[in-house]
Copies of this chain bind each other. A is one copy, B any other.
Amino acid sequence: MQATREKILDAVFKLVYINGYNGTSMAMILKECAIPKGSLYHYFKSKKEMVLSVVKERIHPRMNEFYQLDVEENVEGIDTIISSIYKVSKKELLVSYGCPLNRLNQEMSPVDKDFEEAINLIYNSLRKKIEVLLNNSSLIEGVDAESLSEFIIATVWGSISLSPKQSSQKRYLATINHLINYLKSLKI
């Protein structure tokens, strides 16, 4: 049944989000979704393949949902970016647990090529969207859209990765406000 597979992906996403890849055992997963081992290994041939599926089928869509970076008619691209950054502060889980993609990236990318690849795919698609939005904006001269898009992601992800330390989204907003200031200063 397809529902079983989805149930497994949900459980794995949740546990890996909190405990990381190596911190999550198959026993924990089995217990969380109350599914026998035979069933799980019917859908996934290994733990690694399973978590990679989570990256593609759970984390990727989640990132697209969190960062609403699609081009809108009659809206300056850079304003879409700014409002997207604000909206992130409303996502409590994200601000209090950190970014699931970045968490997994820190743990797995240096150590496993397949994870690095799957994670880079998501990172690049987000970065590219931001670059497109920047190119759809009236900016002062000499602004490099590519490095600026990297700067934006680096700052937002950095802020989120530190925000669990800081008590709340208030802190995230105070931090991120500097980024917004900078972005506004680049508008014509």
* Chain A residues close to B by CB (< 8 Å): 18-23, 97-98, 102-103, 105-107, 109-111, 120, 123, 144, 146-148, 150-151, 153-159, 161-162, 164-166, 171, 174-179, 181-182, 185
Q: Which residues of chain B are near A175, meaning CB under 8 Å?
A: 147, 150-151, 154
A144 to B18, CA, bound (A): 33
Q: Which of B150, B155, B157, B185 contacts A185 (CB 8 A)?
A: B185
Selected contact of A151 from candidates B110, B144, B178, CB within 8 Å: B178
Q: Are B174 and A147 in contact (CB under 8 A)?
A: yes
Instruction: Let me know if B123 and A110 touch, CB within 8 A.
Output: no
Measured CB to CB, the closest approach of chain B to A172, in angstroms, equals 9
B144 and A174 within 8 A (CB): yes
Residues of B within 8 A of A151 (CB): 155, 159, 175-176, 178-179
Contact of A182 among B18, B97, B107, B181 (CB under 8 A): B181
Nearest-Cβ distance from residue A63 to partner chain B, whole angstroms: 14
**A23 contacts B107, CB within 8 Å?**
yes
Nearest B-chain residue to A157, judged by Cβ: B158
Q: A148-B178, A175-B147 are known contacts. Are A155 and B155 too (CB-CB below 8 A)?
A: yes
Q: Within the complex, what minimum Cβ distance (angstroms) separates A131 from chain B?
A: 13
Given A107-B20, A177-B147: A159 touches B158 (CB 8 Å cut-off):
yes
